[in-house]
Chain A
């Protein structure tokens, strides 16, 4: 585990998972790898939190799960986005982008005279 990990807010993790699944159906381990590689080790997500996020989104109706066979020939549970999930992904992404842009504006701003 890397030391300079950021604590991720739950909502942020959901966005990342949705982002991963937007590529297509994948099992939990693949989602974990996707986030790990994507972040380039900038932050690390506990795998347990990831699975919790997946199951919660299934309960919310954003993803569906199905048992299938992994690339290595093992039984694995695959997740895929539902229509509601895709809609959620779009609105979460927009929200996230607004958030990032706002943070960036604050970070680059200089103090204004009052």
Chain B
């Protein structure tokens, strides 16, 4: 048959993949020509003439054909697009409809997925802020290095960023033009303004180069210059962060040129930094002042910047192009060794990232908890995923018949899988929305809980967190959706159609049993972790810090006027104040002390009859001057001997009270009472030890070193201590419930007693509370996650067993008809369910034993392999497992054999 450009046969097979446009056009035209030629021949024309006539009537065959193909191609493309959209819409509509039919299951899946992903995203916000996000507003942060000193001690390696100005100067000289350098002091909470109702701001001190090194500009006014930053004569100027300017000055442009009083010093505001810049630490800086103000007025004689003992400075380096990091570190090492006091041959200079937490060395306890918690959150997500798989599987099992019908009617398996995946896609979309909300609030909450002292500059949520939530949700949704989809797309058609929903149990239950194993193993792991943290917290809480923290309050006075603070009559007037406080209703005991409790140490040189060298190796010691009922007020009990007399007017002989640890360390195996201590020089007055009191902590609730304390009477101090140990604080014992009322009275008495003085009251419990925080936090967060895991696992066990029962209703009917008792059926169902749980518990214990060393550094007084912890968690999980299987088992036992046997 003649027809221009015959289509090859093979083209037809393309139809399987997409519409064969060429073939269709050719076939249509061929039909036209055949019909026309046939008709013309029938009218008596010769075949060649007929063909010629047909072509003539048609026109330009080639160009028409090309035109038709072009039109049809456009059409085909548009169709396939709209078909796809239509199909997807259809899938989504179908999925939503079928999910709405089982709202309980849908909600359970949604909640598990959203919580799992949300918890992870919240953890991610935290890790992101701590470890991943460079400080905002810094141009090219990757090019900035922090300087660390790595020091090797007998007890291990320590890393520190803290330098003295002497060391900084040596490093700057050593680096020369190979790098730009800046030095600064991290921001500390500082009083703003004068009087009692002062505000607070995070004030940092930085060299002028700090801004230029980070490439930070002023968004208003200017930054301070090198001349204003001179160490010997700095100008009192400050630069505000944009956030602080907006917060404290309502973004008033006239703030420039105004003065601000920080910690009693008056400064002039010269500028506001660029919008997002809030310093280089996690903790946002509000105000920067020239570096020289950091230690102004500290000590007479040598200026502080030549005194190697004045440290606390951090250093930033931006190597110039072509500089080698290793070589610079080498130079820093040399500079550090040369500039440090004494022999320091074991110090090595190291560079770290601009992100402090990514520096070398050990992470802080909160940061460690954050990292562990991320692992925990991931485990929760795995459990959640397993649960979603389980629930979707259960749904799929129930829909076996429907799926089999669809397959029998010729639905493509690919399309069926897509249909089933659409369900998890719909769930995932909703879950992501909820998860992002959970992440935001969770992130805010976690930041507050984990690092409450940090004033965050940025929102916890940014595109990375959203991306993380999306990837986590889609990933887990896909995995959770794909397994049941693949499973149910392969049923044996005939059996599924013939027998009701009752078949296929064996095939599915193995997968689902292993999901239960995974869930119970992982939740055992998390619960064991939670219990370890709870026990640690309990151990830490029960630590005896010596002081009676709940009822010990210290009162003192401060003055905005600096000259008043060094008034020599203050100790006498403080004693008078103590006398007046004694009569305040609600105050049980009043004493005086030279230093508030747990705020560090101060000591004198002292000598005993056996050690006249004054070298007391092996322990730290601290001296306090006290008087009155100090021991009673502080809650320190007297173990042996006696304490200073409180009788007024009676002279106190030269005597000293020591702590139990001091008695044991200095006079081991001997009676310390009656021994002689000489302060200042070996020939000074002998102070007799008259009593031994219980140990008190010096600064931290957990102190590993042996710390010795000695208490001297304020009324009869050794000559050497007359200047340093003065009555500066009043120790008051107040029942916690009376504190609110008493504190107001104390404040007004202080104001009356010291004109222009500002009362300062501190409760020891408030002061040491932050130290319990990491423990409380670890216990709390691990418990929350543990319970979350347990709840999810219980849902998993329950739903698995429950669906198993549903599948086997027929079988139970037969069993009961054949005489199985209630107990038999209960045992059977609970036994089947508990087998998986038991395997899970066993593997969970193994996991816990292996994973234990990851948390050992965060525990106190309990070992990760603690058999009581593991045992009780295992028991708990088994008990919960029995409860979860009992409900469906009861249902199985109540099956009415007649109904069950008739139903199919």
Quick one: given A29-B35, A48-B58, are A55 and B72 in contact (CB under 8 Å)?
Answer: yes
**A58 — nearest CB in chain B belongs to which residue?**
B75
Residue B344, interface by CB 8 Å:
no
Q: A29-B36, A59-B75 are in contact. Are A51 and B31 (CB under 8 A)?
A: no
Q: Check if B32 sits within 8 Å of A29, measured CB to CB.
A: yes
Check A46 against B75 for contact (C-beta < 8 Å).
Answer: no
B252 within 8 A of A: no
Interface membership of chain B positions 199-229, coded 1 if the CB is closer than 8 angstroms to chain A and 0 otherwise? 0000000000000000000000000000000
Q: Which one, A27, A52, A59, contacts B31 given CB within 8 A?
A: A27
Bound-state Cα–Cα, A49 to B57, Å? 10
A91 lies within 8 A of chain B by Cβ = no
Are B59 and A76 in touch, CB under 8 angstroms?
no
- With a cutoff of 8 Å between Cβ atoms, the chain A residues found around residue B63 in the complex are 48
B576 at the interface (CB under 8 A from A): no
Binds A, one of B21-29, B621-629, B655-663, B796-804: B21-29
A74-B31, A75-B27, A77-B28 are known contacts. Are A48 and B60 too (CB-CB below 8 A)? yes
Contact between chains at B75 and A52 (CB < 8 Å): no
Given A51-B68, A59-B74: A77 touches B31 (CB 8 Å cut-off): yes
Q: Is A109 an interface residue (CB 8 A)?
A: no
Report if A56-B71 is in contact (Cβ < 8 Å); known contacts: A1-B57, A46-B58, A48-B59. Answer: yes
Contact of A52 among B24, B35, B64 (CB under 8 A): B64
Please classify how large the interface on chain A is, using the bins under 10, 10 to 19, 20 to 34, 35 or more. Answer: 20 to 34
Cβ of B647 under 8 Å from chain A: no
Across the interface, which residues of B come within 8 angstroms of A56, CB to CB?
A: 71
For A28, A29, A74, A75, which residue has the most chain B Cβ atoms within 10 angstroms?
Answer: A29
Contact of A55 among B27, B35, B57, B68 (CB under 8 A): B68
User: Please, what's the 1-or-0 string for B562-596, where 1 marks a CB less than 8 Å from any CB in chain A?
Assistant: 00000000000000000000000000000000000
Cβ–Cβ < 8 Å partners of A52 in chain B: 64, 67-68, 71
**B57 (CB) vs chain A CBs: closest residue:** A47
| A49: nearest chain-B partner, CB-CB | B59
Kindly identify which residue among B31, B58, B72 contacts A75, using a CB–CB cutoff of 8 Å: B31
Q: Given the complex, which residues of A lie within 8 Å of B59, measured CB to CB?
A: 46-49
Q: For window 1-48 of chain A, which residues contact chain B by CB distance below 8 Å?
A: 1, 27-29, 32, 44, 46-48
Whether the Cβ atoms of B56 and A51 lie closer than 8 Å is: no
Residue of B35, B59, B63, B67 with most chain A CB atoms under a 10 A cut-off: B35
Closest B residue to A28 by beta carbon equals B32
Q: Choose from A47, A58, A75 the contact partner of B32 (Cβ within 8 Å).
A: A47
The distance in angstroms between the C-alpha atoms of A105 and B68, with both chains bound, is 39
Which residues in chain B, 118-174, are within 8 Å of chain A measured between CB atoms? none
Q: How far is the CA of A27 from the CA of B32 in the complex (A)?
A: 9
A83 in contact (CB, < 8 A): no
Query: Per-position contact with A for B1-44: 1 when CB-CB < 8 Å, else 0?
Result: 00000000000000000000000100111011011100000000
Minimum CB–CB distance from A26 to chain B (whole Å) comes to 12
CA A55 – CA B72 in complex, angstroms? 7
Q: Are B68 and A74 in contact (CB under 8 A)?
A: no
Compute how far the CA of A87 lies from the CA of B27 in the bound complex, rounded to whole angstroms: 30
Shortest Cβ distance from B72 into A: residue: A55
Are B27 and A51 closer than 8 Å at their CB atoms?
no
Q: Smallest distance from the beta carbon of B398 to chain A beta carbons, Å? A: 40
B89 at the interface (CB under 8 A from A): no
Query: Quick check: is A70 within 8 A (CB to CB) of the other chain?
Result: yes
Contact of B57 among A46, A70, A72 (CB under 8 A): A46
Q: Are A51 and B60 in contact (CB under 8 A)?
A: no
Q: How far is the CA of A56 from the CA of B67 in the complex (A)?
A: 10
How does the 8 Å CB contact mask read for A65-79 relative to B, with 1 for contact and 0 for none?
A: 000001010111100
Distance, CA A29 to CA B33, complexed state (A): 9
B639 beta carbon closer than 8 Å to chain A? no
* Residues from chain A with Cβ under 8 Å of B75 in the complex: 55, 58-59
- Interface: B61 (CB within 8 A): yes
Which 7 A-B residue pairs are closest in the complex by CB-CB distance?
A: A48-B64, A48-B59, A46-B59, A47-B58, A55-B71, A77-B28, A29-B35
> A29-B35, A48-B63, A52-B71 known; 6 other A-B pairs, CB under 8 Å?
A28-B32, A48-B58, A55-B67, A58-B75, A74-B34, A77-B27
29 contacts between A and B (CB under 8 A): A1-B57, A27-B31, A28-B31, A29-B32, A29-B35, A44-B57, A46-B57, A46-B59, A47-B36, A48-B58, A48-B61, A49-B64, A51-B28, A51-B32, A52-B67, A52-B68, A52-B71, A55-B68, A55-B72, A56-B71, A58-B75, A59-B71, A59-B74, A70-B31, A72-B35, A75-B31, A76-B28, A77-B27, A77-B31
Which B positions have Cβ atoms within 8 angstroms of A?
Answer: 24, 27-29, 31-32, 34-36, 56-61, 63-64, 67-68, 71-72, 74-75
Which residues in A have some Cβ–Cβ distance to B below 8 Å?
1, 27-29, 32, 44, 46-49, 51-52, 55-56, 58-59, 70, 72, 74-77
